[in-house]
Every structure is written in structure tokens, then in C-alpha cells.
Amino acid sequence: MKIKGLIIALLLIAQTGCGALSGSTPEPLPTVVLGDGNPPPESSPGSPPVSTGGMAASGTVVPAQEARIASKLGEIVLRVNVATGDRVEAGQVLVELSGREKLAAAIESASLELLTARQALEQLDQDWPDQQTAALQELTDARQAVRDAERMLNGLNAPAEDLDIEAAWATVVLRRDDLEKARKDYEPYENKPVDNLQRAAFLNRLAEVQSLYDDAVRRYNNLAGITGSGFERSQAEAELQIAEKRLELAQEKYDTLQSGPDPDEVALAEARIQNATVQIEASQSALADLELKAPFTGTVAELNIHAGEWVTPGQTLLTLVDLDHLQVETTDLSERDIPRVEIGGAVSVFIEALNQEVTGRVSQIAPLADILGGDVVYRTTIELDTLPPGLRAGMSVEVRFEAGPSRLRLAPKRQHHPRQQAQPGNHQHGGAQPHLIDEHRSSQ
């Protein structure tokens, strides 16, 4: 193509030279086109104005916002409050799902558990002083039990003093006398019915005195060395170990209660509170999800559900668009032109259906490219300065950008054709591919 243009230029130069030799007036050399060699056409009615520079791309009018409303839950549709084409306000309930009673019962149950757990935690704080007192008494008893067990074991291992032996025998004598009196008191009532109160009282007294007598005899025998067998020593050692273990546990419990209520019981109550709180929040969130609300003020463009139908999580129920704020998105701006497009750059937009041109500015450039018919293109978004009457989403437009910093400019399109939405694999520029024109002209 360049060779053909060069040949045409040489022929024109030769014709000009011949005209000069024949005495005719010399004419300026024409501009050399580096495209297909055809001169740019003139503007015609119904076509976009012919531009002397810049970049062109096809585009479409789109809503500024579009939302596909989907359900998070699997439920039956209870009510549909809108129809296709209805205008709705932000926060308006569009669709209602069933299941409210079940979730309300779950919230009530979790609330009761939360109340119970909080009361248990408060009760631990209130009972803490009493628990401290009980732990201190238990510790004191355990220490006394250890001392008694040690004395018992020491009595088996070492000879006792004569005075201790005599005192122990005196105790045996006294307890034996008490035992004989208790037996005499019980004998008259021995054959009475078992539910007789006097019989029960005397029998209980006899059992207590018998136990005291046995202890006195055992102590005397230990001190006197009458029964110091290996079995008794083993038993005494075992009792001492048990007493020492009880003392250790009592000491741990008392030390733990010094800083507050039992940590294990506190942790359990707090875990119950946390679990109940999570259950309430989850049920409340699910309850809110039963109402699908409009995220912004707009128009219902599509409605894909009816009352009584079952919906699955993630299923799109309707589409909401903002038709009050329309903008333009380009569809075929080439990768060769995108470096000269800047955010805020001025553009002119020709709306084909309205045969009207408006101005705007670039508000967004897609960070990733699309593939259109094998070509790499970038989507840009145009904010219009004014919205002409009759403008609707989906209308085709032609966008012309201001020329960027380059020695080359774009020639205007030769003929205007209605735009169609391009599909992947079917590149429909409609004559939108730019032609580069050398801006340097030859001298006369």
C-alpha cells in the first residue's frame, strides 16, 4: 500500500513538473495518506461530525449501577413486592422469603441460654466469699487430719510415756462405764418396733459410745505396745498419705480462690455466653436475609421469581439498574490508542439513535484488557456532562477522544454505520479502525 501511494505521489509530481514547463500555475502537493490512500469524506447529515484529530471508539450507554439480587438462603418465596419496570427506593423490600417463625424461635432459645449463662457468671461472683470460707475450713481440717495421722504412725513406731499410757487406760475405763450405762438404757427398748423413737434414740447413743470405747481401747493398745503389728503400721502410713493428698488438694483450691471464683467455672460460663451470642447473631442475620432489599434507588430490569417458588442460595431473583445516572462504556478501544487516554480527558459522544452529540470526560480505564475478535481492547467509562432527553440504556454511541501527545492523528471515518454490540470472536468495528495520517505536508 505504501508503494502504491509512493507511485501516485511520483505521478503527481511528474504531472506538476509538466504543467510548470507548459506555463500553467503550479498547485500544492496533496497530503500523503499512509492508510488505504482514500481521502477523508465530508460530514453528512445523521453522521458524527468529522474530526480533525483524536481517537474514535464505539460504545454503549449503560446504567451507572447494576445489581443482581440473589438469595443467601434456600427457602420458599413468600411474597414478591415488585414487577418488572417498577421504580424502587433504596432499602425497599423487594422479595420476602419464608422461615421467619423458625428463626424467631431459634433467637428466643439462644436468648434464654444467654440469660442463664450470665446469671451463672454473676452467681459465681456472689458465691466467691462463701467458697473462700469453705475452702479455708477444708484446708484447716486437712492439716489437722495430717497431724493426727502422723501422731498415730509415730505412736506405733516409738514407745509411749508411762503417763500417756495411764491416761489412755483411764479413758478406756471411763468409756467402758459409759458403754455399760448405754447398754442398760437400751435393753428395755431392744424388742420395741424399729420405728419406736425412744428405741432409736437409745440405740444411736449406744452406737456412739461403742465407737468412742473402741477408739480408746485402740489408742491404749498402741501406746502400751500391745498391738503394734506390721498391718497396723501399713494402715497408719496409708492414712497419712491420704491425709497429705487431701491437704494438697485443699491448699490448691484455697490458693485458686484467692484471686477470684473458680477459673474453670468462669471459663465455662463465659463460653456459654459467647456461644449463645453467636447463635443469636447468626439467627438475626438469617432473619434479615429473608427480606431482599434494594441496595440503591433504581428500576427493576428483570424479575426471575414468583411467589411459592423454591430458591437456592446464590440464585439471582431480580436485576436492579440505576437509570437516573447513565454513562458510556467503550467496546473496541485498541491497545494502540489506550496509552494516549487519560482519566479526566475530554471526549465527545455522538448518540446515534438521537442524532445528537454531547460532551463528557473519561472517569475510568479498565486495568485489564478484553479480547475482541482477536484484538486487544480496553474498556473505558465516560461520564456525560448532560443527559439529553430520550437517552436510554443500551443505545449505541461513537466516542471521540482528544488527540494525545503524538505526531500522528486519526483520520475521520469514511462512512457511519449503526453500531452493534460486539461479541467475543466476532470483531465488529463498523469502520472504527483508525487510519494514521502524516501531518507533515510537502512544500509547493
Phi, psi for residue 54 in degrees, rounded to 5: 105, -175
Mind giving me the DSSP string for 267-312? HHHHHHHHHHHHHHHHHHHHHHHTEEE-SSSEEEEEE---TT-EE-
Q: Is residue 280 part of a domain?
A: no
Q: Is residue 338 part of a domain?
A: yes
Mind giving me the DSSP string for 396-427? EEEEEEPP-SSSEEEPPPSS-------BTTB-
- For 72-124, the pLDDT digits (tens) are 989 999 999 999 999 999 999 999 999 999 999 999 999 999 999 998 888 87
Q: Is residue 6 part of a domain?
A: no
Last residue of a domain, one of 282, 300, 320: 320
Residues 245 and 118 in one domain: yes
Residues 94 and 109 in one domain: no
Residues 156 and 224 in one domain: yes
Q: What is the pLDDT of residue 160?
A: 61
Written as nine digits, the cell of 84 is: 418488572
What are the distances in angstroms from CA 31 to CA 40, 166, 424?
A: 11, 143, 37
Number of domains in the chain: 3
Q: Is residue 379 part of a domain?
A: yes
- Residue 58 pairs in a beta bridge with 398
Residues 123 and 228 in one domain: yes
Compute the chain's Rg from CA coordinates. Answer: 52
For residue 57, give the nearest of 326, 325, 328, 388 by alpha carbon.
Answer: 328
Q: Which residue has the cell 494516549?
A: 340
Q: How much is the average pLDDT of 221-227?
A: 66
Q: Which domain holds residue 258?
A: 103-272
Q: Is residue 14 part of a domain?
A: no
Q: Is residue 199 part of a domain?
A: yes
- For 342-369, the pLDDT digits (tens) are 999 999 999 999 999 999 999 999 999 9
Residues 79 and 220 in one domain: no
3-state secondary structure 186-214: HHHHCCCCCCCHHHHHHHHHHHHHHHHHH
Highest mean pLDDT pick, 2-6, 229-233, 244-248, 386-390 = 386-390
pLDDT at residue 135 greater than cutoff 50: yes
Residues 378 and 312 in one domain: no
For residue 379, give the nearest of 390, 389, 392, 368 by alpha carbon.
Answer: 368
CA distance 61 to 353: 11
Is residue 147 very low, low, confident or very high in pLDDT (cuts 50, 70, 90)?
A: confident
First-residue to last-residue Cα distance in the chain: 24
Residues 211 and 339 in one domain: no
Q: How much is the average pLDDT of 189-204?
A: 87
Residues 83 and 128 in one domain: no
Residues 48 and 123 in one domain: no
Phi, psi for residue 47 in degrees, rounded to 5: -115, 155
Q: What is the pLDDT of residue 244?
A: 82
The stretches of 67-161 forming alpha helices (DSSP H) are 100-157
Tell me, yes or no, if the pTM score tops 0.85: no
Of 141 and 416, more confident: 141
pLDDT at residue 286 greater than cutoff 50: yes
Residues 224 and 356 in one domain: no
Residues 119 and 260 in one domain: yes
- For 399-424, the pLDDT digits (tens) are 999 865 543 444 444 343 333 333 34
Q: Is residue 281 part of a domain?
A: no
Q: Is residue 443 part of a domain?
A: no
Q: What is the pLDDT of residue 52?
A: 43
Q: What is the CATH number of the domain that holds 312?
A: 2.40.50.100
Residues 175 and 116 in one domain: yes
What are the distances in angstroms from CA 393 to CA 59, 60, 111, 199, 321?
A: 11, 8, 49, 105, 10
